[in-house]
């Protein structure tokens, strides 16, 4: 018997019909696709964050439109227009009445914060801690510079305004008829996956509406409550501190820390008693929001662990900048909903397979 007859030929890398080659090509394709996806996320970080921000704004508009529909049985377009006009009127009214005073208070607050930081640095130096006010300023600048490349892309005033306008316009277009875009996305999926997609989309929308509603209620409670309590106690710049506290309330965990530092620094600039009172106001407002508002509204819808939210804020802030910091909470909520629905689908499939196997 010749060597040619004994030797068994095996398929080489050019033989695409081989099951082994096909399997290895599929594995390589998955890794290549993952690499391309990661590269696209890095390169397209800014537009991705703008789109996510538009979806969050759409959720807020949609929630207001649905809420208004319970008392006004009119077309959706008119209800959406009423929501947008009311929000615009509130902003114009607020800044028209308090614009000049808030600008002056902002300038004064900057001087107060710098003075208080200098005092803290001097006190720490007297205690033997070799830390100067310049170290605090260097630390703050490093923290701001580490917020990611997206911050540099939209850090200018023109970039911020352009990004905000683009998010708002995109959110309005989607909010006018959200089902149209939902059907458009579903059209790109296989027929047997569309029902699952609709179920996940509905669940995500419901979760985000509850989350944003709780966030808006928390912002209002913290902002107005802080303003009234600080004004009653004679704390300087109560109005500006209330507005900043309300805005920072959109950022769970990190926002409350920033607003608390500002309140305490400004309070102690007017005296020890006023500073202690300002600290007490901050604690009362945070307790009311953390133990009443959040559990009643947002936590029932998302049930996100505080450590998970804080870790997501640190990660998204480092990767995507300020926008990532603001959108970390909604993104984590949507990922959680997807994983939960995916788990339910897999469990249902296993149960069906077990029933079929038992029947056979």
Q: According to DSSP H, which parts of 127-177 are helical?
A: 133-145, 149-153, 157-176
* Residue 154 pLDDT exceeds 80: no
Q: What is the mean pLDDT of residues 107-118?
A: 73
Instruction: Specify the higher pLDDT residue, 343 or 104.
Output: 343
Please write the tens of the pLDDT for every residue from 159-183.
667 777 888 889 999 888 888 888 8
Give me the percent of the chain exceeding a pLDDT of 70: 78
DSSP structural state of residue 146: T
CA atoms within 13 A on the CB side of 192: 1
Domain ranges for the chain, please list them.
Answer: 29-348
Instruction: Specify the higher pLDDT residue, 20 or 225.
Output: 225
Please write the tens of the pLDDT for every residue from 24-49.
777 888 888 888 877 777 777 778 88
Which of 140, 121, 143, 123 has the alpha carbon at shortest distance from 131? 121
Instruction: Specify the higher pLDDT residue, 260 or 289.
Output: 260
Distance in angstroms (rounded) separating the CA atoms of residues 324 and 151: 9
Supply the mean pLDDT for the chain. Answer: 78
Query: Among 142-151, 158-167, 257-266, 269-278, which stretch is predicted with the lowest mean pLDDT?
Result: 142-151
Backbone CA torsion sign across 54, 57, 59, 64: negative
Per-residue pLDDT, 146: 44
Q: According to DSSP H, which parts of the chain are helical?
A: 3-6, 19-43, 45-69, 76-126, 133-145, 149-153, 157-176, 178-187, 191-232, 238-248, 254-269, 272-288, 294-296, 298-302, 306-320, 322-359
Q: What is the mean pLDDT of residues 296-323?
A: 73
Per-residue pLDDT, 85: 92
Per-residue pLDDT, 160: 67
Confidence at 10, pLDDT banded by 50, 70, 90: low
Per-residue pLDDT, 82: 92
Instruction: Specify the higher pLDDT residue, 151 or 22.
Output: 22
pTM for this model (two decimals): 0.71
* Residue 13 pLDDT exceeds 60: no
* Residue 341 pLDDT exceeds 70: yes
């Amino acid at each position: 018997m010749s060597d040619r007859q004994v030797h068994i030929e095996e398929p080489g890398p050019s033989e695409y019909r081989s099951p082994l080659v096909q399997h290895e090509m599929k594995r390589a394709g998955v890794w290549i696709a993952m690499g391309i996806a990661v590269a696209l996320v890095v390169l397209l970080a800014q537009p991705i964050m703008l789109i996510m921000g538009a979806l969050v704004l759409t959720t807020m508009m949609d929630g207001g439109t649905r809420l208004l529909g319970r008392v006004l049985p009119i077309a959706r377009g008119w209800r959406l227009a009423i929501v947008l006009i009311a929000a615009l009127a509130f902003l114009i009214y607020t800044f028209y009445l308090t614009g000049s005073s808030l600008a002056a208070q902002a300038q004064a607050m900057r001087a107060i914060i710098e003075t208080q930081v200098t005092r803290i640095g001097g006190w720490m130096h007297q205690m033997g801690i070799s830390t100067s006010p310049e170290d605090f300023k260097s630390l703050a600048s490093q923290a701001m510079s580490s917020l990611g490349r997206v911050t540099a892309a939209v850090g200018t005033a023109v970039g911020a305004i352009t990004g905000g306008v683009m998010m708002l316009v995109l959110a309005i277009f989607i909010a006018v008829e959200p089902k149209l875009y939902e059907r458009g996305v579903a059209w790109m999926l296989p027929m047997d996956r569309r029902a699952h997609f609709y179920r996940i989309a509905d669940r995500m929308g419901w979760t985000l509406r509850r989350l944003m509603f709780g966030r808006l209620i928390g912002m209002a409670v913290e902002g107005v409550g802080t303003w009234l309590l600080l004004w009653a106690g004679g704390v300087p710049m109560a109005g500006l501190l209330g507005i900043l506290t309300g805005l920072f309330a959109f950022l769970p965990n990190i926002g409350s820390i920033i607003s608390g530092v500002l309140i305490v620094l400004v309070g102690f600039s007017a005296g020890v008693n006023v500073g202690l009172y300002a600290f007490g106001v901050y604690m009362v407002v945070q307790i009311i929001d953390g133990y009443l508002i959040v559990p009643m509204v947002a936590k029932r819808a998302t049930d996100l662990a505080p450590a998970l939210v804080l870790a997501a804020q640190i990660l998204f802030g480092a990767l995507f900048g300020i926008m990532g910091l603001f959108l970390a909470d909604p993104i984590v909520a949507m990922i959680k909903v997807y994983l939960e629905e995916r788990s339910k689908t897999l469990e249902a499939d296993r149960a069906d397979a077990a029933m079929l196997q038992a029947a056979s």
